[in-house]
Amino acid sequence: MANDKSLLEQYAAVVGSEVIDHLKQLSRPLQGARVLHVNSTKEGGGVAEILHRLVPLKRELGMETDWEVITGEAEFYQCTKNFHNTLQGHRYDIPDRQLEVYEQTNSDNFERLREKLEQADYVFIHDPQPAPLLSHCAQRKGKWIWRCHIDLSHPYRPVWKYLREYVKDYDSSVWSLPAFSQRMPHPMYIIPPSIDPLSEKNMDLAPDDLNNLYDEFGLDARRPIITQVSRFDRFKDPIGVIHAYRLAKAFTPLQLILAGGGATDDPEGELVLSEVKAAAEDDPDIHILLLPAVAHKVINGLQRISDIVVQKSLKEGFGLTVTEAMWKGKPVIGGNVGGIRLQVINHHTGFLVDTPEGAAFRIRYLLKRKEKRLEMGEKARDFVLENFLITRHLREYMTLMVGMKDHNNERIMLG
Amino acid sequence: MNDNINIFEIKDCALIALATGERAQNLRELGERLRNTDGACVYYHVWGSMLRPRFDDPEYQNDFAAWAYRELHDQALAEKLTSVDPTRFSDLEDLRREFIDIIEERLDELEYIPWAKSNRQFFFVRSQVVVFDTNMRVETPQSLLEHIKKMSHGSIFYHFVEARRRNASRADDFSEWLKSFGEAHETLVKALSIIDPYFNTLKELQNELITTFEKTLKGKQGN
């Protein structure tokens, strides 16, 4: 059934009308502003997911918002994939040929988008793929903001040095956490990512949808379930999760779900998956689920039928799977790293652990103390409601825009 | 406030964080960076904590204290840093000096410099605050109560917490306004004065304000 409520009305039902009123007030100085977002994909990945909602929300709030995608040949995407890996620490020198393609692709895209880029009041360039567009835009009218969604805390220096030349001339940049940022000669805003409560990944599901999952995946509804949702990647420590499951299972009945997407762009994923399967040793209570990238509703349901969600990463960016689980009222046992530390608060929304033994100990505790588990789950949901939904993300984008309009003064009085 | 003393103007605010690129690995660096950093950094790490992701029942009231406890494992220092009442300092420079004094005193006491693990540095962040008028006006305490029920957390922060820094009396805006009615709302002003805003989330603080207003105004009607 089509929802005839406006998007803002739909969000008001989740976050409260006062939050939406606050957004409307904040948008007043931005009425009619021309805002342009540019990234490199319309589908797939967290950036596109967020833009699919942010763009219509900004429009409803009175900003003339557009979203453009840059396009290129296979070699361009190979180059930007290399950027992604090296900026997160992988040591690899990107071939000159690929860098030439990167520069030429940006130059071509600039010509295609020239008018919009020159006329916009605010241009948000997402991630490294379109970063050089600014260097072509001599006639720009508005403010340009580079939005970095990746963890740049330990980049491979030669690649960062190359990219920095394009990024330093922006009017400001946006980072997910202070620890992920690199020093720049312009204001560096901190805006953590968010989840969308109305998306397929996070919306409420009917009881029948949840019940069907037990049959579909051969799960026993009478015994507790713990779940980790993540790619099959060593940094997500799936073997450590199996170890923790075994230690806990010696004390309490238990089923484990390890659910992750296919590894099409990650050659190492296949290898890790086979290691995980070997570690599971055909245990019928370990369910290794390779799900397609679009299986959002299934992942949503699996998180909801779980008693506890685990994210025992050894290295993590922000950890949006943690946010998603907490939104579903689940306490999370998370690795003591990255953005997980910002979300999992010991004894309140879950537990931070450093070892499989620590994870097993907390699993046993939470399964034994049902009232604690429910209380922590409730607090976890409230914590996400207050801090990590898309409405907060939007509020911070608008605060940034108002702030930049006012020459970045530390205190801005409007009206 | 307005020229018309009995009209309360409801404001709202939004805070955004900016990285400075400054970071501290040990207590000496914390003191040195704090001495030179932007005043907006002091604001962010002390006042801004209420408008950022945080959990109820925080053990420590500002980021310096929390870092001293969690990463330097120096409980004595954390206790001293958390006991600084920011409302006593109308000038951020005075507040900054107070923190620096405590840190330097601690460095004098210790025979070693406490260090954090390499991935647990203190990141200096500064704030940018946008304050805006909601165009909502209130003329009676009963009407203020109705508005508090629908207020954003930004408004609660601005009028009940941050006001203590702006107002010479160090009182919140609601109490200041109620005092303009003379002694008529003395009980409510007194009830508001014993709410400690620092151990709540803004949502909880809003609920506490609603309960206090309702109880006091109901009692008044009953008299």
User: What are the DSSP E strand ranges found in B27-118?
Assistant: none
Per-residue pLDDT tens over the stretch B56-68: 556 788 999 999 9
The backbone torsions φ and ψ at residue A258, rounded to the nearest 5 degrees and listed phi first, read -115, 105
Burial class from Cβ neighbours inside 10 Å (0-12, 13-18, 19+) for residue A122 reads buried
Of the candidates B19, B56, B153, which has its C-beta nearest A190's C-beta? B19
pLDDT tens figures, B165-177: 888 888 999 999 9
pLDDT confidence of residue B57: 55
Question: Is A200 part of any domain?
Answer: no
Is the per-residue pLDDT at B96 higher than 60? yes
* Chain B residues near residue A400 by CB distance under 8 angstroms: 16
Please tell me the distance from the alpha carbon of residue B78 to that of residue A243, in angstroms, as a whole number. Answer: 37
Residue in A with minimal Cα distance to B42: A410
Nearest-by-Cβ selection for B19 from A178, A398, A411: A178
Number of structural domains in chain A: 2
For residues A203 and A214, what is the distance between their CA atoms, to the nearest angstrom?
19
A339 and A396 co-located in one domain:
no
Looking at the complex, report in whole angstroms how far the Cα of residue B2 sits from the nearest Cα belonging to chain A: 14
Residue ranges of chain A with pLDDT lower than 50?
1, 263, 265
Say what the pLDDT of residue B53 is. 62
A18 and A163 inside one domain:
yes
Q: What is the pLDDT of residue B65?
A: 95
Q: Which of B60-74, B132-146, B208-222 has the lowest mean pLDDT?
A: B208-222
- Concatenating the DSSP letter of every residue in A202-213 gives TS---HHHHHHH
Report the C-alpha gap between B74 and B66 in whole angstroms.
10
Evaluate the CA torsion angle A196, A190, A392, A27 in order and state its sign. Answer: negative
CA distance A200 to chain B (A): 25
Give the pLDDT confidence score for residue B184 in this predicted structure: 86
In which order are the strands placed within the sheet that holds A225-229?
A286-291, A255-261, A225-229, A308-311, A332-335, A350-353
SS3 label, residue B216: helix
Query: What CATH number is associated with residue A357?
Result: 3.40.50.2000
Contact A178 B43 (CB under 8 A): no
Say whether B126 and A190 touch across the interface (CB within 8 A).
Answer: no
What are the residues facing A410 on neighbouring strands?
none
Q: DSSP readout, B116-159?
A: --TT-PEEEEEEEEEEEEEEEEE-SHHHHHHHHHH--HHHHIII
The whole-number pLDDT of residue B197 equals 85
Q: Residue B1's pLDDT is what?
A: 47
Query: Rounded CA gap, A320 and A296, in Å?
Result: 13
Place of tokens 């220096």: A157
Say if the Cβ atoms of A387 and B53 lie within 8 Å.
yes
**Spatial CA neighbour of B166 closest among B157, B206, B144, B6:** B157
Task: Report the C-alpha gap between B44 and B125 in whole angstroms.
Answer: 7
Same domain membership, residue A396 and residue A370? no
Residue of A168, A188, A327, A344 to mutate when probing chain B, most B C-beta within 10 A: A188
Cβ-defined contact of B16 to A387 (cutoff 8 Å): no
Distance from CA of B222 to the nearest CA of A (A): 31
pLDDT of A95 reads: 97
Is the per-residue pLDDT at B202 higher than 90?
no
Q: Is residue A75 part of a domain?
A: yes
Q: For residue A69, is it within any domain? A: yes
Q: How many CB atoms neighbour CB B60 within 10 A?
A: 18
Contact A412, B128 (CB under 8 A): yes
Q: Which domain does A289 fall in, by range?
A: 207-387
Structure confidence by residue, pLDDT tens digits, A277-295: 999 999 999 999 999 878 9
pLDDT for position B222: 59
Residue A410 included in any domain:
no
Nearest residue in chain B measured CA to CA from A184:
B21
d(CA A281, CA A381): 35
ipTM above 0.90, yes or no: no
Phi/psi of residue A229, nearest 5 degrees: -105, 115
The torsion angles phi and psi of B166, rounded to 5 degrees, stand at -80, -40
Extended strands (E) in A49-88: 64-69
Instruction: Check A410 against B131: CB less than 8 A apart.
Output: no
Among B52, B128, B154, select the one facing A403 at the smallest CB separation: B128
Joined together, the tokens standing for residue A229 give 């949702």
CA–CA distance, B171 with B160 (Å, rounded to integer): 8
Indicate if A182 and A123 belong to the same structural domain: yes
Q: Do A22 and B154 touch (CB under 8 A)?
A: yes
Q: Which helix (H) or strand (E) holds A12?
A: helix A7-15
Q: What is the pLDDT of residues B4-52, one digit of tens each?
A: 568 999 999 999 999 999 999 999 999 999 999 988 999 999 988 777 7
**Minimum-distance CB partner of A383 among B38, B55, B121:** B55
Asked whether residue A90 falls in the same domain as residue A231, the answer is no
**Same-domain pairing of A353 and A395:** no
CA distance A349 to A382: 10
Which chain B residues are within 8 Å of A410, Cβ to Cβ?
38-40, 43, 126-129
Which helix (H) or strand (E) segment holds residue B78: the answer is helix B75-82
Interchain proximity B19–A398, CB inside 8 Å? no
The ranges assigned to domains in chain B are 13-127, 136-222
